[in-house]
Amino acid sequence: MNRKKLRSIVFYLHGSIGFFVGLLLIVIGLTGSLLVFEQDFDRFMITRNYGIITPQQKQLSPESVLKTIEAHYATREDLHLFRIYVPDSPSSPYIGQLSSANNVRTEIFIHPYTGKIMGERVWDHTLIGMILNLHDSLMSGETGTAIVGIAAFLMCLLCISGLILWPGWRKLIAGFKIKLNAHRQRANFDIHKVAGIITGVFLFFTGFTGFCWNFNVTEPIVYAVTFTKQPSEPVSKLIQGKSPLGLTEQLQIAHAALPTAVIKSIYFPTKSVDALQIRMKLPPERVEYGNSNVYLDSYTGEVLRVDNAFKIPLGSRILNSFVPLHYGTFGGLPTRILYVFVGLAPLILFVTGLMMYWYRYWTKPRISQRSIELSHKL
């Protein structure tokens, strides 16, 4: 197969995939742009809806907050507390997250100094929750999750095919040049090629990580490819008649395992044999909530596993990189701003792609037909 024929096939695939999934990618991209600053917006809404916290000398312990939450939901057997976020600043609340049998997430906000319940909300009913649900699954449950995953994979193919078709391989300057004063057909093509090459790598990262998450098939593949052993799941040894160890003591053990780390959140066991997971952040880590973890036996406090973000296997480090690559947090504020525009790229590329199709398959035939009619009249 010669180069010209191969290019024609790639061009056809690129246009066909873009046409069929373009509108879906626009929805995913626009919602993704809105979610880049999700945490910042959510903190603003929490402060606005539940009040401002004035920093004081000493915060309440997580165990005290745990007891408050358990007492508040004592009659709600349908809810299970699965996580508590420790305040990330002196003016932030404790956040308890509970789930129901149908995976509806409820959040409760606790004043870190007084222990007062500031309010609660159902996450799926919040603006950010609805945008995230639309972004992840089109608000259509598992079926929508699969559709978005397929669309993310097809976006990866669009990025690869677009890279092959980019004219800059023949002449680098031409690949980045936009002639806005040229004919609108040429200007449209230039916008398409430049927007595609600038955002293509980032669109590929977001598409690939989104596909991996939505189909949940990544972990064994990554560990196999990197020749690293997949960490075993920590398990508590159930002791009949014994209650789980106190949370304060558990946190002290976790802190001793990673002395320089800061506790960011606590994941509570779903089953009686599950371990208690304390998520922590080491000083050099750039991920907001950290990628270091300590897993403890819920009954004895035995340290079952320690994940130091800088000493974990290569496979685990690759998997941890998915979050910053998907959300654009790997370079701080500049890359987050960049990812806002990356989310707009599918809209720009779809519109310019449609215009290219219009000029290629509709405008020229009509011009040719009009020329034939004129020749007959003459």
Domain ranges of the chain: 3-36+136-225+340-359, 50-131, 247-312
Give the Å distances, CA to CA, from 157 to 150, 205, 282, 289: 11, 12, 37, 32
pLDDT of res. 45:
94
- Residue 203 buriedness (CB in 10 A; 0-12 / 13-18 / 19+): buried
pLDDT at 10: 92
Nearest Cα residue to 275 out of 253, 312, 300:
300
Give the closest residue to 337 by CA, choosing from 12, 16, 33: 33
Distance (Å) of CA 75 to CA 69, 70, 80, 284: 11, 9, 11, 43
Alpha-helical regions (H) of the chain:
3-35, 38-50, 62-72, 127-137, 141-165, 172-176, 184-215, 218-225, 247-257, 314-320, 322-327, 333-358, 364-377
Per-residue model confidence (pLDDT) at position 365: 54
Q: Show the tokens assigned to 315.
A: 């496979």
Encode pLDDT of 216-270 as tens digits.
888 889 999 999 998 889 999 988 878 889 999 999 999 999 999 999 999 999 9
The pLDDT of residue 146 is 96
**How much is the pLDDT for 374?**
36
CATH of 50-131, one of 2.60.40, 3.40.5, 3.10.450, 2.30.30: 3.10.450
The type of residue at 73 is: Y
Q: How much is the pTM? A: 0.87
Does the structural domain 247-312 have CATH classification 1.10.3470?
Answer: no
Asked whether this chain's domains 50-131 and 247-312 adopt the same fold, the reply is yes
Spans of the chain below 70 pLDDT: 1, 362-378
Q: Which pLDDT does position 375 carry in this prediction?
A: 40
